């Protein structure tokens, strides 16, 4: 991958040989994009696409965008792996797909090993690349409902068999993407108590090999509206998330973390930049690009844009 020259670039992530994944679940209606050429020569960075500037562009038209997506594409830090989720029409039909670059050419897309025979959705990998988390409604004890699952990286780079995360998280209703900080703490949306409205955003600290009792982030992050789909900066400098009022449209919001650990009043990114409209925000591992998803004219499209404007808003 091309290294970032923006102020927020974090050295030490690229080239570690691990895969960080980012995911989304749904998108907001918008004007359909202009016709984009279908990718033909799948070689080079980002499938050979020209990276966008300060205007959102459709990502991988005809290859990723344009189908029933359930996640934005997610690259490994070295740029040689990409994962995305596609939902099917029947129960348990959602799959996480991946492609790998060998030399300069990308391999044919195939289901991830933990998604070959059972449903899997919304992948997210720990900052050290050794644990991959995803959502699935595969049954536990005969009960099939959405839970968070985890696979561990083996020494040969493959993934272990999946197992559900601690009941302190999975005993409650949850949905959509999760995100992890660099210490393994988990951010997710849930209607569990004490929820202030519909879904709220919660954080569970990872300590001594287990997730701790989740805590509601409280105001000003959570309100009587619907807050969900968090993306946490690995160093927890800021939080991106979706907020939707009842009967209204969803917007992307960002909140910077104060020096005392509290959260600043969220900024409505979509109001500030109307062209950044959609849901389920994610940043690439180097922090250079913002990805988000739109549902427009019956089609799901992933958009990407240079993320520097976001750091300008946050004064980072």
Give the model's confidence band at 10: pLDDT under 50 very low, under 70 low, under 90 confident, else very high.
Answer: very low
The pair of structure tokens assigned to 38 is 């279908």
Q: Are strands 147-152 and 163-164 parallel, antiparallel or unpaired?
A: antiparallel
pLDDT digits (tens, 9 = 90+) for 276-291: 998 889 898 889 999 9
d(CA 196, CA 248): 18
Residue-wise pLDDT tens digits, 128-187: 878 888 888 889 988 888 899 999 989 998 989 999 999 999 988 887 889 999 999 999
Q: What is residue 13's predicted lDDT score, i.e. its pLDDT?
A: 31
What is the rounded CA–CA span in Å between residue 156 and residue 262?
41
Helices (H), 48-172: 167-170
CA angle, 41 then 45 then 48, to 5°: 25
Share of the chain above pLDDT 70, in %: 85
Task: Output the six-digit token pair for 193.
Answer: 């108590």
Q: Mean pLDDT across the chain, nearest whole number?
A: 82
Domains annotated for the chain, with CATH where assigned, are 45-314 (2.120.10.30)
CA distance 89 to 255: 36
pLDDT at 5: 37
- pLDDT of amino acid 39: 67
């Amino acid at each position: 991958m091309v290294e970032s020259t923006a102020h927020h670039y974090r050295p030490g992530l690229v080239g570690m040989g691990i895969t960080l994944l980012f995911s989304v679940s749904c998108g907001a209606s918008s004007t359909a994009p202009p016709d984009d050429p279908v990718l033909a020569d799948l070689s080079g960075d980002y499938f050979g696409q020209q990276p966008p500037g300060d205007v959102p562009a459709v990502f991988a038209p005809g290859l990723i965008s344009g189908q029933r997506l359930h996640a934005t594409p997610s690259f490994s830090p070295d740029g040689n792996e990409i994962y995305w989720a596609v939902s099917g029409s029947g129960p348990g039909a959602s799959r996480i797909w991946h492609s790998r670059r060998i030399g300069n050419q990308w391999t044919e897309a195939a289901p991830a090993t933990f998604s070959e025979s059972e449903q899997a959705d919304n992948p997210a990998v720990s900052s050290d690349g050794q644990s991959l988390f995803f959502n699935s409604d595969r049954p536990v004890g005969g009960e099939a409902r959405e839970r968070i699952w985890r696979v561990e990286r083996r020494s040969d780079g493959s993934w272990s068999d999946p197992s559900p995360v601690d009941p302190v998280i999975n005993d409650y209703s949850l949905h959509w993407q999760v995100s992890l900080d660099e210490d393994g703490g988990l951010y997710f949306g849930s209607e569990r108590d004490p929820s202030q409205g519909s879904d709220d955003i919660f954080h569970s600290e990872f300590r001594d090999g287990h997730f701790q009792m989740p805590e509601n982030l409280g105001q000003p992050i959570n309100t009587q509206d619907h807050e969900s789909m968090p993306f946490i900066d690995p160093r927890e400098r800021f939080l991106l998330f979706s907020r939707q009022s009842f009967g209204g449209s969803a917007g992307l919001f960002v909140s910077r973390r104060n020096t005392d650990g509290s959260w600043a009043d969220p900024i409505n990114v979509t109001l500030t930049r109307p062209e950044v409209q959609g849901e389920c925000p994610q940043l690439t591992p180097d922090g250079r690009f913002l990805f988000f998803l739109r549902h427009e004219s019956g089609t799901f499209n992933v958009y990407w844009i240079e993320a520097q404007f976001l750091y300008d808003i946050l004064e980072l």
